[in-house]
Chains A and B, each alone.
Chain A
Amino acid sequence: MKRLLCLLALLSWWLAVPAAAQMTIDVSGAGARQYPIAITNFPGEAALPESLTQIVRADLERSGLFRVIDTAGISPVPTELAQVRFAEWAAKSADYLAIGVVVPATDGRLTVRVRLVDVVKQAELASFAFTMAPALTRVTAHRTADEIYAKITGEKGFFNTKIAYVKKAGTRFDLIVADYDGQNEQSALTSREPIISPEWSPDGSRLVYVSFENRKPQIWVHEIYTSKRTLVGNFRGSNSAPAWSPDGRELAVVLTLSGASQIYTLPATGGEPRRLTTSPGIDTEPVYSPDGGTIYFTSDRGGGPQIYRMPAGGGEARRVTFKGAYNVSPKVSPDGKTLAYVTRNGGLFQIAILDLATGQERTLTDTVKDESPSFAPNGKLILYATEIGGKGVLAAVSTDGRVKQRLSVSAADAREPAWGPFTK
């Protein structure tokens, strides 16, 4: 029954996604523990360009950690703690309840006041308010969802973060920056030639990527809010696989100055490369650990491609993955404890994770052409690219493998996703 209710809630949410959305999201599965929460409609929100509470519900549902309970039949809608009839909510199996109002403030702005209630303890958990211009409804809704998520799960919410990805439609490539839910899509770069490997600077103001616009792969650093671009990797041969150091000052990159692909570092503003690896084969896809001390990378030094690690200044490399003949595209979780990567199982390419302390490996996805994993900034979800029905789509999976989502862009291939950092 619970399952059915959950499914109905999911379905009603999915149907409620506005038709104008450029990206559609499909969620399946449920977290190990789901917090049942009811969110009333906030009196006064009709003044907003879109329903704030609907965005909050969608955010929480999408995290996989919440089950959103229908509030139909509750009348009058409570806006203060004293008006909450707890038995009514307990009967709906809601452990948590969010109530609120939207009231006019000065200068045409509006104030959203929210109270988060623990129905079991019959007590207020938190109350907060945001004053905003109506155009900032989505941002405010995401901030509201962040507050609720943090208060109940103890983890920081990621609803106000950005993602970048590459959209391919015909022969046109766009480097897209969008909200984490695919809304508010904007193109930072349009090109007739491929764009790959975008990565966010730690402060979220720049993207580094590889562009083929000059008939070879070159590395660009692009300030997304000013459109200023700097060609930092334009060495003889190929320039690819850029990764930011955690302080945002350096880039680990792959150059072919000696012939084969090798890892170098470069100042993020451009400059002379310093070579880190010296192997006869391929070393690529470098990525820094969050503490900046280690670089994980893909190498074929042992035959097929496997993931290795080495000190960030260079030095002896140690193999990290052992299971299977093809393990590539490493990413380290924000807490530095887990590695996400692409593993080949038979002919299938799937997202796997590895516990760096125990070496325990686990395949998370059931899609078959997975690429480019990218952690949510709180480490709870992994965004990746895959192919469904011959079309490139973005997908996400929770790090426990239980919640799976698919984000597809209409009439285009979506690929090369990168999840941005928390915004300050």
Chain B
Amino acid sequence: MFKRVSAISIIALLVACSTSGEKQPEAPVSENQGRPPMTTAEVAPKPPPVDTGRISTVTPPQVDELTTGVLAKRSIYFDLDSYEVKPEYRALVEAHASFLRKNPSRKVVVEGNTDERGSREYNLSLGQKRAEAVKKMLVLLGVPESQLEAVSFGEEKPKAQGKDEAAYAENRRGDLSYRAQ
């Protein structure tokens, strides 16, 4: 979802950059409404006139903070039968906490997951426990509850499909999922 949001913002930016203060000549209206015009090559619009007498600032290309550095990391892995965030994930959670504090309009859903062994409903509750552990840590780091929701996918949406310990370890996980604003 977020990728789409950033793609849209980049397109919006490009549109904004390509539009100067002056009105662009309108493209000829095709007689065949709804169909793409067949003659674009021949009737290309004239380039907008350039106002040489003015200096403008070009907006730099927007970089999505969430796609770079530690913020690009969204998964917190758990040990078997464990629901505690391991020390090695502290920096990751702190980075997201700091981002969320700086961007109070952003919301994140912590999605808990488990491996496939045992009852589906009990695993759903275990996944919730993992999601809550991450959420609790974010709250302790100053993120308002209103920006957070902890949900569980239990064993229902495994990232790794195998039935070995490597796959099970991959699926004992909490994911930070930024949702559309």
Contacts and interface: CB of A to CB of B under 8 A. Distances in A.
Contacts of B128: 237-238, 256, 260-261, 282
Interface stretch (B10-18, B55-63, B149-157): B149-157
Interface residues of A, number: 34
A238 B136 CA distance: 16
B2 interface: no
B137 interface: no
B151 A237 contact: yes
Interface string B114-127: 00011111101110
Contacts of B132: 256, 259-260
A119 B32 CA distance: 85
B56 to A, nearest CB: 42
A349 interface: yes
A79 B121 CA distance: 53
Contact of B129 (A194, A282, A298, A372): A282
A147 B73 CA distance: 64
Given A212-B157, A237-B150, A342 B119 contact: yes
A390 interface: yes
B46 interface: no
A266 B120 CA distance: 22
Interface in A185-216: 193-194, 196-197, 210, 212, 215-216
Given A298-B119, A328-B118, A371-B119, A261 B156 contact: no
B120 A254 contact: no
A192 to B, nearest CB: 11
Contacts of A342: 118-119
Given A259-B132, A390-B163, A284 B124 contact: yes
A214 to B, nearest CB: 10
Nearest to B81: A304
B136 to A, nearest CB: 8
A194 B153 CA distance: 9
Contacts of B156: 194, 196, 212
B151 A216 contact: yes
Given A212-B157, A215-B109, A259-B132, A240 B121 contact: yes
A43 B118 CA distance: 51
Contacts of A236: 149
B151 A217 contact: yes
Contacts of A328: 118-119, 121-122
Contacts of A256: 128, 132, 150-152
A407 interface: no
Contact of A282 (B117, B122, B136): B122
Contacts of A416: 120
A107 to B, nearest CB: 48
B120 A372 contact: yes
A202 B122 CA distance: 24
B109 A216 contact: yes
Given A196-B156, A328-B122, 4 more contacts: A237-B149, A256-B151, A261-B129, A298-B119
Closest 5 CB pairs of A and B: A261-B125, A194-B156, A216-B151, A328-B119, A282-B125
